[in-house]
Structure formats: structure tokens, C-alpha cells
Amino acid sequence: MATPSYIVDAFASTRFTGNPAAVCLLDEPAEAGWMQAVAAEMNLSETAFLVQQADGFNLRWFTPVTEVDLCGHATLASAHVLWETDRLKPDETARFHTRSGLLTAKRAGDWIELDFPATPPEAIEPPEGLSDLLGSVPRYVGRTPFDLLLELTDEEELHELMPDFAGLSRLPVRGFIVTTRSNDARYDFQSRFFAPATGVNEDPVTGSAHCALAPYWAGHLGKSKLTGYQASARGGIVKVETIGDRVKLHGQALTTLRGELV
């Protein structure tokens, strides 16, 4: 049976920017091995698999090599597809049941608002050799449930980083959120995200990383509503708002491909 499938540029206002995610709409739950094989075939940073249930959709995310517990851009892409294909009405909230609990998405004009758990970092001593692997000495190192968050002092250094991906992949974390205050007045902070252990050396725009960036920069800048720019080659804007133990992520999305898995 054919499976409707889409590729969506998430956290993007123009095509071929932001972070592309594949979205597969299943009629029934599939085996994890098959979903992993599909994600490897798609070879994007994330492929999302949705199955409708009574009170929303079951949602799982796979990189080309592993299943992950939380993914922002593929959730944004999934919600976009549900509205675009009329599986949800324009004013209907998308409800996703995931490994990270219930996540929701709703339309807010031309933007989509995601409701995600906040994952603020806790300061730690840097792992041995981290600066050499990163190619920079961070001014702050913190641990989130998934990643290390590293603040640099210089935005230009952030843009020019060329880490040792093989070395970073051996450290026991999902990925590395590297961030600085922004010199560009349009943004409050900028970031990049490296996750070589999951098969993604650099992710173009990472919603789940902003679950840590939002509370971190809210505390440093003294405001709950912020605009972040992920400074990858494709680039993307994520607007964030910290509300207690939750983070609202705002992004845009565009479909670039429609097809079927056969």
C-alpha cells in the first residue's frame, strides 16, 4: 500500500532554506526497522512518521541512523502537512503523542506555534578535550537532557567553526548547541547545532535545541520573547517564548515535494 510522503522546508520562509524534513503518513503503526530504513533512504536529518489515533497523532522521528526523543523541525513539518492536506481544519490544533509527551501545534497567521518542554542547561565542567574538538574555548558549558550547550564570546568564531566531528561523536551526548549573542539587531542570539553521533554532522535548524536556548538566553537577556537565528549554510529563524517549564517555538514551513512510498 502506498504511503503519502512529503518533504517540507521547516523554519523557512523561502524554499531551499531552513531544515528539510520528510513526513510519512501511515495508515497503521509500522515496525521500527522499516521506519529506520526509510529514514536512511530519505537521508535527511529527520523523517517523521505519523499514525492517526482518537485524540491526535502518534509521532516518531528518525535520523538516518537512529530514533530520537525530540525533534522540532520535523514536528513543525508534520503539522504543516496535516493542515495542507486538510487532515486538520485550519483552526484545529495538531496534537502529537511522542516519546517526549504531548506536543501541540497551532497556526498563528503565517507562522506555526509549537508547544514544547523547556530543557534549560545546568552548568558543568567541560569534558576533557572538548575545546580541541570544537576548535574554540567556550565561556560556558551546560548540560541539557540531550545535549551540551556551549556559549562562545565571538559571533564570527561561531560562523567559522569547523569542529572535529569524529571526535565529538565519541562524547556521550546527542549533540552540541553552540551559541553567542547576536551582533545582528534582527536577532537576540545565534546558534549552530552539531550531532555527529546521530548521523547529522550539522543540523540546518534545530527546534529542540531552542528548548534549551530559549530559557538560557531569557535568563541572560532578561526577556521571555526572543528571536534566534541558526547560522547554518541554509539558515533559519526561530522565534521563542519561555513560559514556565514550556517553550513556544514559532516557525514557518513550505512543502517542496509530494509523493508516495511504494
Whether residues 132 and 235 share a domain: the answer is yes
How many domains does the chain contain in total? 2
pLDDT surpassing 90 at residue 119: yes
Give the closest residue to 107 by CA, choosing from 250, 254, 255: 250
Residues 72 and 124: their CA atoms lie apart, in Å, by 25
Q: Give, in degrees to the nearest 5, the angle at Cα 181 between 175 and 185.
A: 130
pLDDT in tens, 38-96: 999 999 999 999 999 999 999 999 999 999 999 999 999 999 999 999 999 999 999 99
- Residue 102 CA from chain centroid, whole number: 16
pLDDT recorded at residue 189: 98
Residues 83 and 145 in one domain: no
What would you report as the CA-atom Rg of the chain, rounded to the nearest whole angstrom?
A: 18
Could you tell me if 143 and 57 lie in one domain?
no
Q: How far apart are CA 225 and CA 189, in angstroms?
A: 12
Same domain, 141 and 222: yes
- The pLDDT assigned to 172 comes to 95
pLDDT higher than threshold 90 for residue 29: yes
Can you give the three-state secondary structure of 133-184, one letter per residue? HHCCCCCEEEECCCEEEEECCCHHHHHHCCCCHHHHCCCCCCEEEEEEECCC
Cell representation of residue 32: 521500527
Q: Give the predicted TM-score (pTM) of the model.
A: 0.97
Shared domain check, 170 and 72: no
Q: Are 82 and 193 in the same domain?
A: no
Note whether 172 and 67 are same-domain residues: no
CATH of the domain at 127: 3.10.310.10
> 50 with 161, same domain?
no
Catalytic residue numbers, as ranges: 46
Cell of 235: 539558515
Host domain of residue 254: 3-115+249-261
**Same-domain status, 74 and 163:** no
Q: How many residues are given for the chain?
A: 262
